[in-house]
Amino acid sequence: MKRDPPAAERQAQEEAAGEQETPLWIFGYGSLVWRPDFEFSARKVGFIRGYSRRFWQGDTFHRGNEKMPGRVVTLQEDYDACTWGVAYEVHGEQIAASLQYLNMREAVLGGYDTKLVKFHPQEKEADEPFLALVYIATPQNPTYLGPASEEDIAAQIIVSSGRSGHNIEYLLRLADFMRYFCPQVEDEHLFSIEEALVSILPCLCQAEDPLVEV
Ligand SMILES: N[C@@H](CCC(=O)N[C@@H](CS)C(=O)NCC(=O)O)C(=O)O
């Protein structure tokens, strides 16, 4: 089923295509942090304001199936919060290629929509904040699961896997990214789910070296 790109995506694509030298930035805060799987020219670690990252999106393709949906992250509006991740810069032909790929991976298969948000690079003295495209799964999408206790989320992750791999890998790689690349950030929701998961499966204690390269 071909899905027309959402308005924010079209706006970003038109603006970027209109001025070839203007890159498009795409902000990742879940699997895009460690598995972008599209060609990019540069990447920066940083954050967006006004959102909290939550394991409240169901996934029946990448990390789960119709009978046992996995849990992946989305963004919940939260005025005082910041969500850390990676912004990817795409130029010229990379723009259409990345948007076409992400439209299938995120929108068609994942239920995510697009929005333009202000990204704040970690090296703020070197860079001013800039606009980036972000994929958000809203409560209106058909596989949205919403809030649950960290213990229940961990238990669901433990028994879920899909076409892209096990849901445990999804959680641990994201926790790993935050631990090693954003050590100053306390992401209580993420790390309490990881803690609940490790208490159920002690063999999954923290890796010595980062699993994620940025
Ligand atoms: N949009 C968020 C979340 C992306 C995400 O995790 N999406 C799922 C779709 S349900 C995905 O791409 N999974 C691929 C994988 O799990 O490897 C991001 O920017 O990273």
**Ligand 1 centre distance from Cα of residue 28 (Å):** 8
Mark whether 19 is an active-site residue.
Answer: no
Give the model's pLDDT for residue 209. 61
Locate 36 and state its tokens: 């972008």
| Contact by Cβ (8 Å): 39, 94 | yes
Give the model's pLDDT for residue 214. 65
Give the model's pLDDT for residue 91. 96
- Tell me the pTM: 0.87
> What's the pLDDT tens digit per position in 121-149?
998 777 799 999 999 999 999 999 999 99
| CB proximity list for 209: less than 8 A, separation 6 or greater | none
Give the model's pLDDT for residue 203. 73
d(CA 95, CA 203): 41
Q: Which ligand 1 atom sits closest to the C-alpha of 137?
A: 1
Give the model's pLDDT for residue 21. 76
Q: Is 56 in the pocket of ligand 1 (CB under 6 A)?
A: no
Q: Which residues pair with 71 in a beta bridge?
A: 58
**Ligand 1 centre distance from Cα of residue 45 (Å):** 17
Q: Which ligand 1 atom sits closest to the C-alpha of 30?
A: 20
Give the model's pLDDT for residue 175. 97
**Ligand 1 centre distance from Cα of residue 62 (Å):** 8
Residue 158 identity (one-letter amino acid): I
Locate 25 and state its tokens: 């930035």
DSSP string, the chain: ---PPPHHHHHHHHHHHHSTTS-EEEEESSHHHH---S--SEEEEEEEEEEEEEEEEEESSSS--SSS-EEEEEEEEEEEEEEEEEEEEE-HHHHHHHHHHHIIIIIITT--EEEEEEEEESSTTT---EEEEEEE--TTSTTB-----HHHHHHHHHT-EETTEEHHHHHHHHHHHHHHH-TT---HHHHHHHHHHHHH-GGGPPPSS-S---
Q: Is 166 in the pocket of ligand 1 (CB under 6 A)?
A: no
Domains and CATH numbers, the chain: 7-204 (3.10.490.10)
**Low-confidence spans in the chain with pLDDT less than 50:** none
Give the model's pLDDT for residue 9. 76
Which residue in the list 9, 106, 150, 194 is annotated as catalytic?
106
Confirm whether the ipTM is greater than 0.95: no
Q: Which ligand 1 atom sits closest to the C-alpha of 73?
A: 3
Do strands 161-162 and 130-136 pair parallel, antiparallel, or not at all (unpaired)? unpaired
Average pLDDT, the chain: 91
